[in-house]
Amino acid sequence: RATCAIAQSPGPITDLPGTPRGKLSVIGIGPGSDEWRSPEATHELISASDWVGYDLYLDLVANLKTSQTEHRFGLGKEEARVRHAFNLAGQGRDVALVCSGDAAIYAMAALVYEVLDSNTLTPPEQRVEIKTLPGISAFQAASARAGALIGHDFCTISLSDLLTPWATIEQRLQAAAEGDFNIAFYNPRSLKRTDQLQKAIDILKPHRPPETPVIIASNLGRLTEKVKTVAFKDFNPTEVDMLTIVLIGSSQSKILTRGDGKAYCFTPRGYANKKENLQ
Amino acid sequence: RATCAIAQSPGPITDLPGTPRGKLSVIGIGPGSDEWRSPEATHELISASDWVGYDLYLDLVANLKTSQTEHRFGLGKEEARVRHAFNLAGQGRDVALVCSGDAAIYAMAALVYEVLDSNTLTPPEQRVEIKTLPGISAFQAASARAGALIGHDFCTISLSDLLTPWATIEQRLQAAAEGDFNIAFYNPRSLKRTDQLQKAIDILKPHRPPETPVIIASNLGRLTEKVKTVAFKDFNPTEVDMLTIVLIGSSQSKILTRGDGKAYCFTPRGYANKKENLQ
């Protein structure tokens, strides 16, 4: 059942009261290359009225800019960024909150819901349409460039203890080591956080053969891209900086050096074993 | 030092011997929607001379087909598919091995390297250029549709014991449970494998509160897409079929029901906790 009220206006209605329902798109633009950005992300960026994001990420999509208003933020202040985006969307605007990689993987999408859940938003902000846009994350790009390290079960762990207590991270590291997962380390190191990666390596050491492949990758898909594959025993954590992602294989992962001298790495799914069992 | 030999031909050289170096691109086309397929994948598919892949995946990119020769395979026989792709590339062709999602995540890229490493290929096959193309995987699309469940450390586990012994899978499940990871289950169930998902749930049960969000998603990005969020205590593994992916939150994940009655879920990164500590 529904009730409907109808009325006739004496003239055309032009001055409508209220504001349209705003929209907040949390957009994963991929690692940086246009070739890895989803068409969905491109279309949402083009149709948005406002772009909110960290300077570097807005630079990466600058070639798409037409009439959008930019709201640039420095590193950090993530919550201020999200609240600003809600504020604009609450005014009926079509807001793109720009993230690198996937919008949910160590980016802003979870924080958008965390802020929404905190009951600190105004009613118009609380009503905005929210859309999360997935994207290719750095671990996927790093694995692809170096072969197929994530060819079997994997996990991602952020080594930043700014928001997560180190004891929780250590528990995850221990679990990932014992579970023999391929592991991607996000936020492995910063200027202030210099010890975490070495501690992580120490936890992994008893569980990984010395020849386990390690991928060290930065600026994926950009002109300054660097990707290097080394054996676990030769990995030097002090080579890693805050723009780098580190992938470590499972005990089954292998390095394969091809005829051109380049090293590739992969984690077999087990077809070779299957054949042996059948013999 | 290098030695160089120069000779003069009596006429234009038109009948060059040998074949060009072939190319094998292992292409992740994303979950199925054109909007989630990377431009890189689209460009490689268009420029390829041959497409090799499972029927359904070739259907998903049929709108890009021009003069490519299709090599369609049924489910299974993954190794035959890879060997066929190497064979074509070994003849100098530009071969697209088509995968859904990300080419490395439970797809064909690792098997390509496994076959290459087996020393069973002919010299021309062994020399082909290999390129892995990352793509948006089903777990990313499922999380995005339902909010931001993968907003903190997560892992993916395939529940198929066709190639991996169940004891290894069980060890990973135990580790993922104790490590409090968000978890994505690939291959949760098939017609023959009906028990694994229930066993996985039993392992997780002591480690996850009854209200932990579970996402059940299938046919992501396609017309028949289904995405549902339920509480762990209400999750029924028999509802899951072989085309479905299942995501289970960590102990920190939350379900948030919005004004429109829809349930979203996310895993906070900890900004709320940080604020409490600062008070």
Give A7's pLDDT tier (boundaries 50, 70, 90): confident
Q: What percent of chain A clears pLDDT 90, i.e. is strictly above it? A: 83
User: How far is Cα A254 from Cα A267, in angstroms, rounded to an integer?
Assistant: 6
| Domain spans, chain A | 23-133, 138-269
Q: How remote is the C-alpha of B45 from its chain's centroid?
A: 17
Residue in B118, B174, B264 nearest the CB of A113: B264
Contact B151 A127 (CB under 8 A): no
Distance from the Cα of A160 to chain B's closest Cα (Å) equals 11
Starting at the edge strand found earlier in the chain, the sheet holding A147-148 runs A147-148, A263-266, A254-257
Average pLDDT, rounded, for chain B: 94
Closest among B26, B33, B32 to B100, alpha carbons compared: B32
Does the structure show a pLDDT above 70 at B38?
yes
Q: Does B185 touch chain A (CB under 8 A)?
A: no
SS3 A87: helix
Does the structure show a pLDDT above 60 at A277?
no
Distance from the Cα of A80 to chain B's closest Cα (Å) equals 11
Residues 81-110, chain B: which have Cβ within 8 Å of A? Answer: 102-106, 109-110
For the purposes of burial, counting CB atoms within 10 Å of the CB of A56, is it exposed (0-12), middle (13-18) or buried (19 or more)? middle
Does the structure show a pLDDT above 80 at A141?
yes
Distance from the Cα of B103 to chain A's closest Cα (Å) equals 8
Q: Does B277 touch chain A (CB under 8 A)?
A: no
Helix, strand and coil in chain A, % to nearest 5: 35, 25, 40
Contact A171 B149 (CB under 8 A): no
Name the closest residue on chain A to residue B276, using Cα atoms. A163
According to the CATH classification, is domain A138-269 in 3.30.160.150?
no
- Chain B residue numbers with beta carbons less than 8 Å from the beta carbon of A30 are 38
CA distances from residue B108 to A38, A66, A148, A236, B237 in whole angstroms, order as listed: 21, 40, 9, 31, 27
Q: Which CATH class is domain B23-133?
A: alpha beta
- What are the pLDDT digits (tens) for B42-89? 999 999 999 999 999 999 999 999 999 999 998 878 999 999 999 999
For the ranges A203-212, A234-243, B91-100, which has the lowest average pLDDT? A234-243
What average pLDDT does this structure show over A141-151?
98
pLDDT of residue A75: 82
Q: Which residues pair with B148 in a beta bridge?
A: B266
Q: Which CATH class is domain B138-278?
A: alpha beta
- What are the pLDDT digits (tens) for B216-235? 999 999 999 999 999 999 99
| Location of structure tokens 């958008």 | A112
For the purposes of burial, counting CB atoms within 10 Å of the CB of A202, is it exposed (0-12), middle (13-18) or buried (19 or more)? exposed
- What are the pLDDT digits (tens) for A147-199? 999 999 999 999 999 989 999 999 999 999 999 999 999 999 988 888 999 99
User: How far is Cα B265 from Cα B154, in angstroms, rounded to an integer?
Assistant: 14
Distance from the Cα of B5 to chain A's closest Cα (Å) equals 22
For the ranges A56-65, A100-109, B265-274, which has the lowest average pLDDT? B265-274
Does the structure show a pLDDT above 70 at B128?
yes
- What are the pLDDT digits (tens) for B232-278? 999 999 999 888 999 999 999 999 999 889 999 999 998 766 665 44
- Chain B residue numbers with beta carbons less than 8 Å from the beta carbon of A106 are 269
Does the structure show a pLDDT above 90 at A110?
yes
pLDDT of residue A279: 37
Q: Does B184 touch chain A (CB under 8 A)?
A: no
Give B14's pLDDT tier (boundaries 50, 70, 90): confident
Q: Does B77 touch chain A (CB under 8 A)?
A: no
- Chain A residue numbers with beta carbons less than 8 Å from the beta carbon of B39 are 34-37, 39
What average pLDDT does this structure show over A264-268?
97
- Chain B residue numbers with beta carbons less than 8 Å from the beta carbon of A176 are 155, 175, 179
pLDDT of residue A8: 85
Give A273's pLDDT tier (boundaries 50, 70, 90): low
pLDDT of residue A182: 98
* Cβ partners under 8 Å of residue B34, min gap 6: A39, B63
pLDDT of residue A12: 80
Distance from the Cα of B11 to chain A's closest Cα (Å) equals 33
Q: Does B263 touch chain A (CB under 8 A)?
A: no
- Chain A residue numbers with beta carbons less than 8 Å from the beta carbon of B271 are 78-79, 111, 114-115, 163
pLDDT of residue B278: 43
Average pLDDT, rounded, for chain A: 94
Q: What percent of chain B clears pLDDT 70, i.e. is strictly above it? A: 96
Contact B113 A155 (CB under 8 A): no
Distance from the Cα of B31 to chain A's closest Cα (Å) equals 11
Q: What percent of chain A clears pLDDT 70, i.e. is strictly above it? A: 96
Ordered DSSP codes for chain B: ---------SS---S--S-PPPEEEEEE-BSS-GGGS-HHHHHHHHH-SEEEEEHHHHHHTGGG-SSPEEEEE-SS-HHHHHHHHHHHHHTT-EEEEEESB-SSSSSSHHHHHHHHTTT-S-HHHHT-EEEEE----HHHHHHHHHEEGGGS-EEEEE--TTTS-HHHHHHHHHHHHHTT-EEEEES---SS--SHHHHHHHHHGGGS-TT-EEEEEESTTSTT-EEEEEEGGG--GGG--TTEEEEE--TT-EEEE-TTS-EEEE---SHHHHHHHH-
pLDDT of residue B279: 37
